Each structure stands twice: as C-alpha cells, then as structure tokens.
C-alpha cells in the first residue's frame, strides 16, 4: 500500500460538497478513499470549506491523514474550527512537549514580542539566544551551539561540520532512518522511496538498524550479539565505504518516522565503539527524541552513550521554528563565515525555547515522562491481549509505537489507517509512521486522566476498525 497516496488528502478532497466527493469516490473505487471521504461527515462546515480552499491552492506534496482543521489548543486538547475537541496524542509530531498554550511560554513570547522579534542573529549579538545556549550547555553537556530553524537544517549543519572537520565526504546512516528532506539530510533518510526518488544524493551507505520485531538479519535478540550494528564494520567498512572516506555515522536514538523503533541497549554502545575504533564521528539525530521526549533531555542518555554531535529541533522551539546543532568546542571550531543563516537564534523562538526548557526542567519531566510512558505502555499491552492486530507495543518514555499486523504478523497498513481514522472519529489525534505503525507522542504534560480517556476512545476505535 502506498502510504504517500493514503496520506494525500488533497487528492481526494479537491472538491466542495460531500455528495460530489462521494460521486468522485465511486470513480476512484478504493476502500481507503471511501474511508477518507467518510471522515468529512465527522467535521463541520467551516472545516470542509477550509479544506476545499486549501486543496485548491496548496502544493499537494504534504500528506494529511485526516481532515482536521485546527483553531485553538490548551495543554493536550485541540479544538477544531467548528468547536470539536480532540485529545492530542501526537503533539504536532513530538513538538508541543510543554503543552499547547503553555502560560510560561506564552508570557516569554509576549515579553519578547514587546521588545523585538528579529535582529539577524548571524550578524548581531543578543541576549535571548545566549541564555538559551547556556541552558542547552547545562542540559546536554555540549560546550558549543549553532542555531537554525528546523530539524533538516540542524542535520545539514552537522553534515557540513563533519565534512569540514574530517575533510572526508562519505556518510553512513541506517535503513528506516529519517533525517529530513533537504538534499543533504535526504541522502541520510532511508525511510520511504517516495521521499527520495528523482533526487540526487551525497555518497551515503546505509546499515541495518536494530529492528528486533522484524530483524532484518532474521536473528533473535540477545543471541544475535547485535550483529546488525557490527555490519558497520564487517560489511560497510570492508565492502562499500572506507572509514578513511567516512565523515560521520548519523543515528536516531529511537527511529521516528521509520516506525518508532527502539533498539536494544547494546546497539548504540556497539555503534559508538565502532565509530571510536575507526575514528569516525557519531552524530545523534535527537530532532524527534530530544527535549525530554523519552525521559532524559537527550534520548541517547538512555543508552549511556554520547555522540560527538547532537541535532535538536521540533520540541526545542515549543511551537516556534528552532533547531540547534550541539558539539564540543574542540570539534565546532570552524571559522566565521563558513556556515550561517538568517533566522537561526530568532529572538521570539529563543525566548519560547528557553521558557519551555525551564518549565520542563522544573516540572521534573525526566521522571514524569518515564512514569507516564510505563503507564501508557502497560495500558497498551493490556489492549494487545484483546486485539491480535497489535503485533508489537514498544517505546521509550512518551514515544510509543504500536505495530499493526495481519494474523501472519505481516504488515497491515490498511488496518493501521482504518484505526487512525476511527480514532479521529472518536476525537483522538494519532499519526502513522513506518510501514504499519501508529505513533503516540502526546504533550509531556498530558494527565493520567487524559491518557485513560484517550485509550478508552482508542479501544473503541480498535473495535470498530477490526469489526
């Protein structure tokens, strides 16, 4: 099943009235389109109007799974343009860690707004980005910071720093990886071929990630001895890309878009060791996993491993665009003019980011996230007992994936999408990832009651989708 097509709401919705849409559906004739069209009955007239106009004017390259038109939000609740309320179990893809409309973040943005929004931090100096950099140093232990605006830019910056420092131009990443969609980061991305076809790439070798539920090497953990990680040395460095030509290995601590895949503890230790032994830099892409999403500030801390470079974005800006590349001063010693941008260190984004990190730190998020994550996984394991389509429940902290499978354990993207659609009707927001996975990445401020209510609704969605 073509996930990009499933996700492309615009293709189906480029029309105004449900009746017209339904006529169109019978022409197209797939179950999924009918499903998708049916969802329009669950949103109000204002939403339909906006979707129609949006589909006419916006590039269709974004993939929307269901017709949500947002209007306002608070904590873990999103209200749509017609006044319907949804429990947000995805946080704008792991962005709103401090919750929607967090009062401390709002106050910091308002205060900065009254003073100044933008100065061109690449040209001048200012206090908000400096304060944020010091906070990042304290939270991460890295002594140097580079600011940008998004995940893909943080990864691009890391690629450039690795090239610049090593004077090598080969890269390594992992199958199922997602590191962004600009051309450098896209070379590392290896998630869905649609994202890469027709686009040129840097020289990049891909190695197997520890996807134990579907081991690519058909081995069993722990007797496998983490053979997948060892392939870096045994296969890639011997047959494809010499360490002498490799600038860096890029890895996600937990794979995100690729399917919320949590590797066993030894995986990152092994990868780290191989990089050290071969004098190759290790870059941790914490764009999705960072900012306490999995418990500690950086997810790689869960594995007792430190990378030379870490990339942050998403939750870092608390809803405003913000990315960062972190490294130690011995590594990030490139000279003025070698890399920069217009909006990195933006004053509003910096103020929002600092307020959000201070809030998350003060609320002791590491502990809270671990507790809530265990609670949520426990509840999902209970559901797994009654719903054989849930093949695997996995996650770290509040980054939890459910792999939806057929009775023979093969992937089942159609059922996965039906479940997400039914969940939308039940007024909970979920998103797909990987081939057949539902992701849960709620705001970290979600309450136990909201989790309970969300999972009650999710159970109803599962029942309807699998009836």
Ligand X SMILES: Cc1ncc(COP(=O)(O)O)c(C=O)c1O
DSSP three-state, residue 183: helix
CA distance 136 to 139: 5
Compare residues 390 and 438 and give the one whose CB is closer to ligand X. Answer: 438
Compare residues 32 and 140 and give the one whose CB is closer to ligand X. Answer: 140
- Smallest distance, Å, CB 128 to ligand X? 21
The residue to which tokens 């942050």 are assigned: 312
- Smallest distance, Å, CB 178 to ligand X? 5
Compare residues 94 and 275 and give the one whose CB is closer to ligand X. Answer: 94
* Contact partners, residue 268, CB within 8 Å, separation at least 6: 251, 253, 300, 303, 305
- Smallest distance, Å, CB 432 to ligand X? 13
Compare residues 139 and 155 and give the one whose CB is closer to ligand X. Answer: 155
Interface contacts to ligand X, rule CB under 6 A = 93, 150-152, 155, 178-180, 252, 256-257, 285, 287-288, 313
Burial of residue 191 (CB within 10 Å: 0-12, 13-18, 19+) is: buried
* Contact partners, residue 133, CB within 8 Å, separation at least 6: 145, 147
DSSP class of 188: H
CB count in 10 Å sphere of residue 406: 14
CA distance 9 to 37: 9
DSSP three-state, residue 224: coil
- Smallest distance, Å, CB 219 to ligand X? 26
The residue to which tokens 């197997």 are assigned: 208
Distance of CA 67 to the CA centre of its chain: 21
Cβ 432 vs Cβ 420: under 8 Å: yes
Compare residues 140 and 150 and give the one whose CB is closer to ligand X. Answer: 150
Compare residues 324 and 380 and give the one whose CB is closer to ligand X. Answer: 324
- Smallest distance, Å, CB 316 to ligand X? 10
* Contact partners, residue 415, CB within 8 Å, separation at least 6: 389, 404, 406, 465, 466
Q: Give the Å distances, CA to CA, from 319 to 32, 123, 339.
A: 32, 25, 25
Compare residues 173 and 246 and give the one whose CB is closer to ligand X. Answer: 173
- Smallest distance, Å, CB 464 to ligand X? 29
Closest CB to ligand X: residue number = 151
- Smallest distance, Å, CB 343 to ligand X? 13
Compare residues 96 and 287 and give the one whose CB is closer to ligand X. Answer: 287
- Smallest distance, Å, CB 289 to ligand X? 7
């Amino acid at each position: 099943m073509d996930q990009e097509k499933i996700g492309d709401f615009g293709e189906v919705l480029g029309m105004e009235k449900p009746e017209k849409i339904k006529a169109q559906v019978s022409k197209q004739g797939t179950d999924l389109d009918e499903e998708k069209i049916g969802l329009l009955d669950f949103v109000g007239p204002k939403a339909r109007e906006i979707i129609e106009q949006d589909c006419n004017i916006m590039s269709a390259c974004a993939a929307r799974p269901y017709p949500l038109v947002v209007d306002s939000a608070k904590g873990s609740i999103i209200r749509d343009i017609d006044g319907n309320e949804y429990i947000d179990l995805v946080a704008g893809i792991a962005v709103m860690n401090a919750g929607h409309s967090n009062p401390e973040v709002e106050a910091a943005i308002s205060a900065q707004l009254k003073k100044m929004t933008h100065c061109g931090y690449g040209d001048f100096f200012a206090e908000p980005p400096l304060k944020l950099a010091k906070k990042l140093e304290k939270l991460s232990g890295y002594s140097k910071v580079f600011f940008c605006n998004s995940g893909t830019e943080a990864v691009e910056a890391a690629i450039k720093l690795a090239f610049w420092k090593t004077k090598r131009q080969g890269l390594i990443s992992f199958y199922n990886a997602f590191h962004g969609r600009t051309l450098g980061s896209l070379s590392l991305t290896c998630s869905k071929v649609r994202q890469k076809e027709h686009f040129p790439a840097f020289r990049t070798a891909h190695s197997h990630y520890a996807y134990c539920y579907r081991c690519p090497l058909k081995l069993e953990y722990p007797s496998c001895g983490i053979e997948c990680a060892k392939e870096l040395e045994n296969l890639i460095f011997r047959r494809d890309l010499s360490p002498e030509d490799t600038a860096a290995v890029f890895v996600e601590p937990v794979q995100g878009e690729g399917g919320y895949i949590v590797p066993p503890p030894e995986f990152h230790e092994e990868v780290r060791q191989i990089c050290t032994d071969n004098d190759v830099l290790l870059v941790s892409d914490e764009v999705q996993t960072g900012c306490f999403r999995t418990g500690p500030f950086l997810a790689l801390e869960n594995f007792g491993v430190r990378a030379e470079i870490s990339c942050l974005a998403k939750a870092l800006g608390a809803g405003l665009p913000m990315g960062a590349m972190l490294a130690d001063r011995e590594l990030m010693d490139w000279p003025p003019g070698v890399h920069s941008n217009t909006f990195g260190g933006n004053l509003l984004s910096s103020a929002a980011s600092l307020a959000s990190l201070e809030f998350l730190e003060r609320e002791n998020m590491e502990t809270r996230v671990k507790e809530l994550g265990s609670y949520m996984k426990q509840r999902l394991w209970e559901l797994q007992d009654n719903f054989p389509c849930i093949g695997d429940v996995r996650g770290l902290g509040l980054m939890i994936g459910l792999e939806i499978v057929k009775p023979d354990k093969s992937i089942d993207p159609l059922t996965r999408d039906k479940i997400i659609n039914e969940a939308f009707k039940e007024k909970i927001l979920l998103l797909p990832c990987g081939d057949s996975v539902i992701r849960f990445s709620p705001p970290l401020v979600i309450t136990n009651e909201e989790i309970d209510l969300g999972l009650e609704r999710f159970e109803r969605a599962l029942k309807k989708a699998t009836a």
